[in-house]
Structure 1
Amino acid sequence: MMWPSIALLTFVTLQRLGELVLARRNTAALLARGAREVAPEHYPVMVALHAGWLVGLWLLAAGRPVELFWFGVFLGLQALRLWVLATLKERWTTRIIILPGAPLVRSGPYRFLRHPNYAIVVGEIAALPLAFGLPFYAIGFSLLNACVLHIRMKAENAALESAMILK
């Protein structure tokens, strides 16, 4: 049966495209309110990593059986993703955008982790390939993602510190 893997890949693809639309809208609105983007130079690398991850899954996973345990993990991560989106509302974006004077969000999952969205992405990059029985793919992209996240989190934390948002 090919349809479960195709349905799952279609869902993830549409989800990512929808998130890019939402992020672009939120970014424009934040910039119009006086926000500024920080460290945009790593953004194309991050986009390329995520696009490569998804394209590779389409090439390798379409038609493979879906392992229910990892599919369940992935679904749980989607619930957490919705929690992040609902918490950040119009402040959610895929770029590092600093809105001067805006307090750091400390509700929802941000009560527990400084960067819950990144933790979710780490889980997704591993769980989805594992759901298709692709452990080496999961490891490879997890390592690449760790490199990008190291750069991104360092830049984001520095930007928040310089904006005197973090205490």
Structure 2
Amino acid sequence: MCTRILNNMDNKQVAVARNMDWEFHLDATLMLTPAGDCAVGMSKAERKKEGITKKQVLKWQAKYASIATLLGDDEDGFGFCDGMNEKGFVANVLYDTNCTFHQGSLSDEQKGLSVLRWGQFMLDCFASVREAVSYFSFPEPGMEICFFGGSVSR
């Protein structure tokens, strides 16, 4: 579980803080992603767990360089926590165990994206909140992103 604190009493200086309230230790990794880097929407382990093929997973190329804090490892995959891209667009992700996500098979128009990689997708692809909202409000014809729930375990 994570707790987020937002102080926006002064709109010229907004402060955000995070507390990682997990019952076990989580190692953090700081990752730099260059513009042009290729990314994939979920780890091999998660893809197997969800029963979807490599072809059904969302793939993209980063438009913007970014720096992000990730949790996890090479074996189980990394989950995005917080980050910022070169345009100043910031993503802060909280993991909510009560959420429900896509289950079952995907059609040809659907691509799977793990909630653990959603934050990186945002930083890689968008320069602003306005761009991101527009993308998800008016998706490309024949392209639907389905979110799959990742799991955080010791």
TM-score above 0.5, yes or no: no
Structure with higher helix content: 1
Q: TM-score, normalised by structure 1?
A: 0.29
Q: Which has the higher contact order (CA 8 A, sep 6+)?
A: 1
Structure with higher strand content: 2
Bigger-Rg structure (1/2)? 1
